[in-house]
Amino acid sequence: MNGSLELWLFAVALGTSLLGGLLGMASGIFIVPILTIFGRIDLHTAIGASLISVIACSCAGAAPFLRDRLTNIRLAILLETATTLGALCGVFVAGLIPPKYLFVIFALILLLSAQQMAARRKEPPRAELPRAKLAGAILSGAWDRDLGYAVQRLPLGMALMYGAGLISALLGIGSGVLKIPAMDTALRLPIKVSSATSNFMIGVTAAASAGAYFARGEILAPVAAPIALGSVVGAVLGARILMKVPNDKLRLMFVCILVILSAQMMLAAFGINLIEAAP
Amino acid sequence: MKVDIASHPRLEQTLGALLHYGTLLASSVIASGLALSLGVGATGLRVATAGLVLFILLPVVRVAAMLILFLRAREYKFGAIAALVMSIILLSFFLGTP
């Protein structure tokens, strides 16, 4: 072992976790394409390592959000019933789908993410507190009055969260692409609350499938260990530079990167790799 | 009923501390494993793997902590929800194992 692969993996995880944090996305959506396309790492191994990165980012970044009380832990645990159930199903489906189709699904998710990044997120309209009757049934007394927002359209949110858990287990990503519409459009949470709550949830969702990936021998220490360390460092640094809204040029650049990665993942489904191996 | 806020630390703070120190512990085990693996390969990788297992377990421990904290705060509804999440995760661990 000469350490150059480990260093490369560490750097990839650090960079993607840092940028992911700044852009409000999880690192997984970049890690799997980079490991498979540039690192020529087996898809299942890349997904396993990416799940570890998602857990590491979630755990390493959670404390400041919790301290500022941005994380809605009661809503999180409720939505986690849907995401973990999705992950449970995803673990089974993942074993049945040939890598070729996983590449295709990944390419589509990357395109969706590019589209979401191109259309900037808007702060959802504030709910009238007394009219938030829906969540009241389950979440009554669940939010403090001082939070100043109410959870809306919970069933739709739960359905989207189930999908997010499924995709997370299938592709090893945090599934921000489904969580963001669930939180913004369905539940109508303020963006800071939804980012913090989503970050809190992705760790549990990823852990639900990571256990099975580990048992199947698809989480390999030589790949996953440097990725875990890089992710922790990236997430901690990302929290320091905290919540700066990325400017339009940076967003445009990432839209392009996501589209390119999507195209290459689609080609990879047919065994074509146009890019030189990196490490 | 009056609740003494000072002696009743918020759930959020407890969970934040758990995740913070858990991350520190798992990362240090992984880091020492990687450092070892540069010298004695196999042992180092075993240590690093143990660190990875710690990371996978950390969110599960977080759910268990929420279960206990909600029960202690007499929020039985959320305690039950936490128990449900816990059982889905355990089901996934056992059913997903080949």
Q: What is the DSSP string of A27-78?
A: THHHHHHHHHHTS---HHHHHHHHHHHHHHHHHHHHHHHHHTT-S-HHHHHH
Provide the pLDDT for residue A247: 64
Q: Would the pLDDT of A246 be above 70?
A: no
- B56, part of any domain: yes
**Nearest by CB: B45 against A56, A62, A221:** A221
Is pTM beyond 0.95 here?
no
Query: Domain limits at B74?
Result: 12-96
| Residues 195 through 214 of chain A touching chain B, CB cutoff 8 Å | 203-204, 206-214
**A225 chain-B contacts, CB cut-off 8 A:** 30, 33-34, 45, 48-49, 51-52
**Alpha-carbon torsion (A17, A258, A197, B67), positive or negative:** negative
Q: Would the pLDDT of A157 be above 90?
A: no
Q: In sequence order, what are the residues at sequence separation of 6 or more whose Cβ sits closer than 8 angstroms to the Cβ of residue A94? A: A47, A102, A169, A170, A209
CB contact, 8 Å: B54 with chain A? no
Separation CA A52–CA A197 (nearest Å): 19
How many domains is chain A partitioned into structurally?
Answer: 1
SS (H, E, C) A212-230: HHHHCCCCCHHHHHHHHHH
- A141, part of any domain: no
Chain A closest CA to B17's CA: distance in Å? Answer: 7
Q: In sequence order, what are the residues at sequence separation of 6 or more whose Cβ sits closer than 8 angstroms to the Cβ of residue A211? A: B56, B89, B92, B93, B96
Provide the pLDDT for residue A190: 79
- A130, part of any domain: no
Q: Would the pLDDT of A245 be above 70?
A: no
Q: Would the pLDDT of A197 be above 80?
A: yes
What is the residue type of A140? S
Provide the pLDDT for residue A226: 95
Q: Would the pLDDT of A48 be above 50?
A: yes
CB contact under 8 A, A225 and B89: no
Provide the pLDDT for residue B78: 92
**Spans of chain B, pLDDT less than 70:** 1-9
- B52, part of any domain: yes
Provide the pLDDT for residue A94: 86
CB contact, 8 Å: B27 with chain A? yes
Hey, of A4, A10, A74, which one would you mutate to test binding to chain B, going by the most B CBs within 10 A of its CB? Answer: A74
- B2, part of any domain: no
Provide the pLDDT for residue B7: 39
How many domains is chain B partitioned into structurally?
Answer: 1
**B18 chain-A contacts, CB cut-off 8 A:** none
- B68, part of any domain: yes
CB contact, 8 Å: B57 with chain A? yes
CB contact under 8 A, A204 and B31: no
In terms of Cα–Cα distance, which of A201, A204, A193 is closest to A152? A193
Q: Would the pLDDT of A145 be above 80?
A: no
CB contact, 8 Å: B17 with chain A? yes
Query: Domain limits at A12?
Result: 4-120+159-175+194-269
